[in-house]
Amino acid sequence: MMLRLEGITKFYGQFCALNGLSMEVEDGALYGFVGPNGAGKSTAMRIMCGILAPTSGKVSIDGKELRSGDQKQGRLIGYVPDSFGIYNDLKVYEYMDFFASCYGMTGLTARKRIEELLEFVGLSERSDFFVEALSRGMKQKLSLARALIHDPSILILDEPNSGLDPRSRYEFKSILSRLSDEGKTMVISSHMLNDISELCTDIGIIDHGSMVMSGRLSEVMKIVTSENPIVIGVETGLSRAIRSLKEREMVRSMSIKGNDILINFGGDRRAEAELLRELIEEGIGIRSFSRQKGSLESIFMQLTGHGEEKLVNAYENGRDEDQL
Amino acid sequence: MNINPILKRELRVQSRGHGLLVLICGVNAILFMIGVLGCLAAAARTEQSLAADYGVLLDIYGLVAMALFVFMVMICPALTSGSISGERQSKTLELLMATGMSDMSIILGKLAASLYTVAVLLISCIPSIVLPLVYGGVSLLEMLQLVMALMTAALMTQSLGLFAGTLGFSVQRSTALAYIFLVVLLFGTFLPAFMGMPFSVYGRDNWLALLLILNPAVTVLSVVSMQVGGGSFPAELFARLNLDVSEVFLGHYIPAAMIAELFFSLMIIFASVKSLDMARGGFGYLLRKRKKEGIEK
Ligand SMILES: Nc1ncnc2c1ncn2[C@@H]1O[C@H](COP(=O)(O)OP(=O)(O)OP(=O)(O)O)[C@@H](O)[C@H]1O
Ligand SMILES: [Mg+2]
């Protein structure tokens, strides 16, 4: 099912949390929804679920416009909020049963579905535990199972990964990719950019309540990669290389780390090749020459951060991780 | 049958705790004590006069009934004030809303759960007030009338508590607000009548004074007075307040008041549903709705 937001604006009193946000999630897509804290991700997701009414703009599923508080919307969408939303006075099974009956499921149908889902998220053995007694990761899984109870075609997950250890994160990720394989349309907001880039087919980057960039993940990566810095590994003649690079117009900025030079280069591929040839002709010993590969993190920093400083940081962080 | 899931959940949780049991035992113990003290007083008087005075039993009945009213009215706002604000605080309200369950069924489920609690409490108290029945002072029908008046009072105070909980405050604040509503209901409704008293300008046709009809204490007192004191209560009150009300009105005061109170409760319930809907983003919703209606026209 296709989910579309058009020109969504949301004011909290005087404060504008969403400013003409538009996005389109195609059928079967796994949409990564990223943005810095306070960008308006949770607000947008609440609006998608119909829990919150937008100040203006419209939400539609398969071309049909939805109003907040619409019963149909509830049937189509499963929502995992950033807070667990857990009744501590219920047991795991009862918790699921409660929500099943909220969707009008009772008796055997409900029981089968609940058992199936608890099995799916790996909580079968805990079905007699009080929800209170679950660990954070388990609660998150329960929350997901709850959102799936009515077999929605669209799943909206608000930071499902936050606060999970690497192992739970991995488990959670594999559950999500299984759901995606089943053909569910999903929107996931997350700060774990690596996790997102491994899973997603599409991505939307939001800042200050409006979309900064969106599209297929591969395309977004392509665009951004061409704007990434070129890393030149210099073996001999470092100072000569720096001097030479400084003279060129296409080199917009430069930073040096050890024997590597990072340049922000404005030319196309051909110009890149030209640059490399010229540097070699000048007798500089070049060990490596390549565009830094676009990571989601660098896109994120670039679009929501300010200036190259962060770009370099992202690069250094990337290197540190490599060494580990 | 499809029982409201919220009601089902509340009952399930309630059946696990001991809250209701403690409440029932506590209230009954106090009612019983009032009854026993009354009997002792009656016995003392009987010894003096050497003649059995069954009228005293009726007085005890009245006293116990009023005590029950006071307990109920004290408990009810707290029973419901946390029901929506608590869900909001535990972040489950948005889950309920996301299920597509209507605001009306959320509100009604909560209300039904607390009405159930009060009904159980009331039924458990019947032995404490049933004594005069044995001596024939009060008929079964009249007992039923008392129960109805008490339940109406419960519904009214519970709806007010529920409404306070939908306004977006924390549990503590909405509980405080619910009790403020209660005070306004029990005492504030006297204000217009009092204000009219010293000024003969308002004097006799002070229609605002009719707000008194919403006061559940006046209604329950009227019921009790009719049963044990010859029914002089509301008439006396209106005379004291210098209000000129017709005989017909006084003659039908109890059913009229009960209908008015039920109607008022329905309005409050409706307001709670609206207020819950406002939590989705409020004014935008109203605006869009109006726009849509405009288009349809
Ligand atoms: N109920 C509210 N009342 C007033 N302002 C709010 C409310 N909810 C959110 N906001 C504001 O709206 C903005 C967007 O909030 P939102 O929770 O959507 O951000 P987010 O992108 O989910 O951030 P995070 O990554 O921290 O979860 C924030 O500046 C926040 O302060
Ligand atoms: Mg958020």
Domains of chain A (ranges plus CATH)? Answer: 3-215 (3.40.50.300), 224-323 (3.30.70.100)
B-chain CB neighbours of A83 within 8 Å are 91
User: Would the CB of A69 count as within 6 Å of ligand 1?
Assistant: no
pLDDT of residue B278: 81
User: Which stretches in chain A have pLDDT values below 50?
Assistant: 306-324
Cβ(A10) – ligand 1 distance below 6 Å? no
| Whole-number Å distance between alpha carbons of B151 and B46 | 35
Taking CB atoms and an 8 Å cutoff, what residues of chain A touch B282? 53
Token pair for B161: 């508590």
Query: What tens digit of pLDDT does each residue of B156-205 get?
Result: 999 999 999 998 888 999 999 999 999 999 999 888 777 765 554 444 55
Pocket test for ligand 1, best of A10, A43, A52, A156 (most atoms within 8 A of CB): A43
SS3 A31: strand
Among A11, A75, A102, pick the best mutation site for testing chain B contact (most B Cβ within 10 A): A102
Rounded CA separation A196/A300 (Å)? 12
The pLDDT > 90 percentage for chain B reads: 40
Q: What torsion do the CA atoms of B245, B250, B255, B257 make, to the nearest 10 degrees?
A: 40
What the block records as the tokens of B46 is 């009987």
- Measured between alpha carbons, how far is B169 from B144 in angstroms, rounded to an integer? 37
Which ligand gives the minimal distance to the CA of A304? 1
Å from CA of A299 to ligand 2 middle: 20
Q: Do A68 and B95 touch (CB under 8 A)?
A: no
Q: What is the ipTM of this complex?
A: 0.83
Separation of alpha carbons B142 and B231, rounded Å? 13
Contact between residue B60 and residue B46 where contact means Cβ atoms under 8 Å apart = no
Write phi, then psi, for A31 (nearest 5 degrees). -95, 115
The alpha carbon of residue B130 is apart from the nearest alpha carbon of chain A, in Å, by 37
In total, chain B counts a number of residues equal to 297
pLDDT at B223 over 70: yes
Q: What average pLDDT is seen over chain B?
A: 83
The helix/strand/coil state of B220 is helix
Task: Give the distance from residue B110's alpha carbon to the nearest chain A alpha carbon, in angstroms.
Answer: 14
Render pLDDT for A107-150 as a digit per residue (tens, 0 to 9).
Answer: 899 999 999 999 999 999 999 999 989 998 899 999 999 999 99
Ligand 1 pocket, residue A41 CB under 6 Å? yes
Q: What is the pLDDT of residue A305?
A: 63
Determine how many CB atoms are found less than 10 A away from the CB of residue A269: 9
